[in-house]
Copies of this chain bind each other. A is one copy, B any other.
Amino acid sequence: MSEGKDRRGRELRVKIGGEAGFGIKSAGQTLARVFMDAGLNIADLTEYPSLIRGGHNNYFLRVSKDPVFSHVEEVDVLVALNRESVDLHLDELVEGAAVIFDPADVSTTGWLPSGKLRPVPVPLKEFARQAGGTIMRNTVALGAVLALVHFPLEGLAESLREQFAHKAPEVAESNIVAAALGYQYVSQNVPDFWLKPRGIKGAPKRLLIDGNEAIGLGALAAGIGFYAAYPMTPASSILHFMAKHERDHGVVIKHTEDELAAMNMVVGASFAGARAMCATSGGGFALMNEALGMAGVSESAVVVGVITRPGPATGLPTWTEQSDLRYVIHAAQGEFPRVVLAPGDQAESFELAWKAFNLADQLQTPVIILGDSYLSDNRRSIPYPDLDSITVDRGKLVTEGDVAPHPEALGGNGEYLRFKLTEDGISTRVLPGVEGALQLGNSYEHDEYGYGQLGEPAETRIAQNEKRMRKLDLARTLVPGPNYFGVAPADADISVLCWGSTVGPLREAALWLAEEGVAVAIMQVVTMWPFPALEVADFIGDAKRTMIVEGNFTGQLQGLVREQCLLDVDHSLHRYDGRQFSPERIVAGIKEVLADA
């Protein structure tokens, strides 16, 4: 915790802790929305076990007028809905932190006398009961938090109406009453608190979304027609998102019997011309491998979300890790081109999602969006996207009419060649239903028509294999490049490589280190495959001292760097306990490395 000490007071960090199954997350998100709507920046983090009830849940919320890139370890205000929450989070509390609790639930032995803390007892349950039911004690607590930090209550009413929009209107209204009771009580009974965040007037419009919502929104924007999935944490919420919008946006959603079906349906949907996607986590992806290869050899445009969690096997379903990078790059027998995109935050999730559909269509091959729990489950306030910049590029595709006006799709004899050999590896797709073109998708190796038996001669195999693999060259010209943050590597004390959601805490850490005079260069690899070897080699080449920060045991990005660049980094920082790096950890890690230098 020492690394963040001097950050106290610059922002508001709230944690709500309690037993699983009590709606802590949705309460927290409601609070988050109040602050965002007031123009402040938000990052949240929910932690929960893979249980419906029992076990400890907690919701962390960070609010600042400056941009925020991740959660942090420190907490200014703890709402402890049970005693366990105090015990588990005591270490995280800064000096003078407030602990809001209901004396009826939370025993005060052990921690109360601690001079460093500010206990704020509130009869949460009692107020909730008064408002209509003890289930609303979270809402009472939200009122209490706002009052404590002298933030206006009004926003909360609106936010509660949003939260309970799909319930009877009385529900929202009782909750508003509950919040008001908590607010009043604290305003009247608790002396001045040292943190008083202020809203920002006229702040630009933003969105408060998690990574999965961002992916779902991106897919909608891209014109998705078909989405199939089997629920799997942490990918299920994409299914929920898409299902919620099936009617208003006309998407066909299928909750399938298993992930085998989901991926195979997506290949079928793509054959029929729909923009099609499925998403899952590692275990479901395992069941999709074979059909992923089929998408590769049949040159199907498909988008596959792989939102990872710690493995192996069932692993730790509700926690986060970055240990499936190599798996998604090498999954499925045989060799075929694929694109793997790893968004670093919610804004990038949105952008890469719609771009993934264009890439899939342009390359006629699977595009994987590789996320993780940290990104998918947690919300950040992001700039309102520039909707006008979104494009739909379906690549070489004929959807309707007759094939005759498309001679580039035809062979010498005037027949349609689905897998016509071309310089860039892309043949023209003609959808079923177009006159004059009979297309055969095939999981076998095949000739230009698609016939499997004719795919067996050595020359045909070589030609089709090389044709497909040429797409990787084209892909290199189309995929998003790496992101760079902080100073240039030549000017940096340390140059750090990362990928995926780790970039958040790393950027945060870099800002903090900058304040202490340590210059950090960051390179976030975004397109993991085809790997940007030249850019990485340049970054490492320019750097004085290099490091990789990644959330796994074996160093999967590092392995790629070694393999693709024949270079290594000087240091690496790993985490594989299911938790995301905090900026504090990274700051400490970097300082340690620099101290040894």
Contact = CB atoms under 8 A, between A and B. Distances in A.
Contacts of A458: 577-579
A226 interface: no
Nearest to A325: B330
B289 A312 contact: no
Given A456-B49, A578-B458, A445 B310 contact: yes
A461 interface: yes
B334 A313 contact: yes
Interface string A159-191: 000000000000000000000000000000000
A567 B462 CA distance: 29
A444 to B, nearest CB: 5
Interface string A444-488: 110000001101101101100110010000000000000000000
Contact of A332 (B311, B445, B455, B560): B311
A209 to B, nearest CB: 26
A458 B47 CA distance: 12
A453 B286 contact: no
A51 B451 CA distance: 14
Contact of A290 (B283, B310, B335): B283
A327 B323 contact: no
A595 interface: no
Given A49-B453, A327-B333, A331-B331, A287 B287 contact: yes
Interface stretch (A108-116, A217-225, A293-301, A427-435): A293-301
Contact of A335 (B445, B452, B552): B552
Which of A462, A577, A579 has the most chain B CB atoms closer than 10 A to its own CB? A577
A350 interface: no
Interface in A202-248: none
A354 interface: no
Contacts of A285: 333
A333 B312 contact: yes
A553 B335 contact: yes
A445 B577 CA distance: 10
Contacts of A465: 553, 576-577
Contacts of A401: none
Contact of A461 (B316, B444, B566): B316
B444 A315 contact: yes
A10 interface: no
Nearest to A463: B577
Contacts of A443: 312-315
Contact of A313 (B444, B459, B562): B444
Contacts of A333: 281-283, 285-286, 308, 311-313, 315, 323-324, 327
A336 interface: yes
A395 to B, nearest CB: 20
Given A456-B319, A566-B566, A294 B310 contact: no
A145 B378 CA distance: 75
A554 interface: yes
Contacts of A563: 559-560, 562-563
A286 B560 CA distance: 23
Given A283-B290, A465-B576, A323 B334 contact: yes
Nearest to A558: B563
Interface in A486-535: none
A158 interface: no
Which of A55, A286, A308, A459 has the most chain B CB atoms closer than 10 A to its own CB? A286
A557 to B, nearest CB: 12
A18 B315 CA distance: 53
Contacts of A456: 49-50, 55, 316, 319, 578
Contacts of A311: 293, 297, 332-336
A314 B578 CA distance: 36
A327 B316 contact: no
Contacts of A315: 297, 333-334, 443-445
3 closest A-B pairs by beta carbon, nearest first, are A311-B334, A282-B333, A312-B334
Given A559-B563, A560-B563, A562-B562, 17 more contacts: A49-B456, A283-B290, A286-B290, A294-B312, A294-B314, A296-B313, A297-B312, A310-B334, A312-B443, A313-B444, A314-B442, A317-B444, A330-B330, A335-B576, A459-B577, A461-B577, A469-B554
